[in-house]
Copies of this chain bind each other. A is one copy, B any other.
Amino acid sequence: MPDDRLQRQIAFAAEVDRLKLVERRTSVIGGARLENSAEHSWHVALLCRVFAEYAPEGADIQQATWMLLLHDVVEVDAGDTFAFDEAGYEDKEERERRAAERIFGLLPDDQRAEAMALWEEFEEGATPTARYANALDRFQGLLQNRGNGGGTWLEHGVARERVIERMRPIETAVPKLWPVVLATIDEVFSAPRPSRGPGSTVY
Are B50 and A12 in contact, CB atoms less than 8 angstroms apart? yes
| Residue interface mask A68-96, B partner, CB < 8 A = 1 | 01100000000000000000000000000
A62 vs B65: C-alpha distance when bound (angstroms): 9
A35 vs B197: C-alpha distance when bound (angstroms): 48
Q: How many copies does the complex hold?
A: 2
Q: How far is the CB of A138 from chain B (nearest CB, A)?
A: 13
Are B69 and A13 in contact, CB atoms less than 8 angstroms apart? no
| Residue interface mask A7-37, B partner, CB < 8 A = 1 | 0011011101111110000001110100110
A199 interfacial by beta-carbon distance below 8 Å: no
Known interface pairs A10-B143, A50-B9, A180-B6. Does A42 touch B69 (Cβ–Cβ under 8 Å)?
yes
Q: Which residues of B contact A13 (CB under 8 A)?
A: 43, 46-47, 50-51, 143
A151 vs B12: C-alpha distance when bound (angstroms): 20
Are B69 and A46 in contact, CB atoms less than 8 angstroms apart? yes
Known interface pairs A50-B107, A65-B65, A69-B45. Does A39 touch B20 (Cβ–Cβ under 8 Å)?
yes
A128 interfacial by beta-carbon distance below 8 Å: no
A20 vs B36: C-alpha distance when bound (angstroms): 9
Are A16 and B46 in contact, CB atoms less than 8 angstroms apart? yes
User: Assuming A2-B179, A49-B69, what are 17 further A-B pairs, CB within 8 angstroms?
Assistant: A6-B180, A9-B51, A13-B43, A13-B47, A13-B51, A17-B29, A17-B43, A17-B147, A18-B28, A19-B39, A20-B28, A20-B35, A38-B38, A39-B39, A42-B45, A62-B62, A65-B69
